[in-house]
Chains A and B, each alone.
Chain A
Amino acid sequence: AQSVTQLDSQVPVFEEAPVELRCNYSSSVSVYLFWYVQYPNQGLQLLLKYLSGSTLVESINGFEAEFNKSQTSFHLRKPSVHISDTAEYFCAVSGDDYKLSFGAGTTVTVRA
């Protein structure tokens, strides 16, 4: 069985400051890891993913995440946030069994 723990439920941050959202997972099989973003009353959009290869993955809007197998983590970072980054962020894990499990989410609020 697999599970995801997002360690922070709310993260307030000032505009242009860095942010890190923490995610730990447990899984007994090979994993695929994802970060999704959700804006109010909408579905989820993929931010970035780790399937294999380089452990550092990046998105087109400045986010990055690093897969750390020994620490079973997949933390999300952005060096400088914008007001438009205010949203809820979800970490997710899946494996060869196709089961896709999500964490409880982290609400990021960016203030001017």
Chain B
Amino acid sequence: DGGITQSPKYLFRKEGQNVTLSCEQNLNHDAMYWYRQDPGQGLRLIYYSQIVNDFQKGDIAEGYSVSREKKESFPLTVTSAQKNPTAFYLCASGQGDTEAFFGQGTRLTVV
């Protein structure tokens, strides 16, 4: 089945810890994206990648890091530098000139 897989669905993190969210796609898309969603603020772009081994900062990249070593994978690390990490995180992939396809999201909670 083709699609975007995000894991885990729910994630709990202690303050001061780094945590990595997984995103895998088997759609052969060049572009991949990470968004953060908070109530009333829509989707804010964290990082995006147009091609393997290359990525660009989005609008709220501070406190996050990514890698794109394989076309199908775009993991997001939420570092301890992110002061307010509790949110719903969405990953997507696309071809740039067509629509993006979204995963089901990961809800991260800092405890």
A interface SS class: strand
Which of chain B's residues have a CB closer than 8 A to the CB of A105? 40, 42-43
Inter-chain contact A94/B105, CB cutoff 8 Å = no
Interface pick from A11-19, A40-48, A61-69, A71-79: A40-48
Taking a contact as CB atoms closer than 8 A, the residue among A44, A92, A98 that contacts B48 in the complex is A98
Interface pair A103/B99, CB less than 8 Å apart? no
Check A90 against B43 for contact (C-beta < 8 Å).
Answer: yes
In the bound complex, CA of A51 to CA of B98 (Å)? 7
List the A residue with the shortest CB-CB distance to B31: A98
Q: A100–B92 contact, CB under 8 A?
A: yes
CA distance A68 to B88 in the complex (A): 32
Chain B nearest CB, measured from A97 CB (Å) = 8
Task: Report, as a range, how many residues of chain A touch the other chain.
Answer: 20 to 34
What CA separation (Å) do A98 and B43 show in the bound complex?
16
Q: How far is the CB of A63 from chain B (nearest CB, A)?
A: 15
A61 to B98, CA, bound (A): 20
State whether A43 and B96 are in contact (beta carbons under 8 Å apart), knowing that A98-B48, A103-B42 are contacts in the complex: no
B22 contacts partner chain A, Cβ-Cβ < 8 Å: no
B74 within 8 A of A: no
Q: Which residues of B contact A104 (CB under 8 A)?
A: 40-42
Write the residues of chain A forming the contact surface with B, with a CB cutoff of 8 angstroms: 6, 9, 32, 34, 36, 41-46, 49, 51, 90, 92, 94, 96, 98-105
Partner-A contacts on B (CB < 8 A)? 4, 30-31, 33, 35, 40-45, 48, 50, 56, 58-59, 90, 92, 94, 96-105, 107
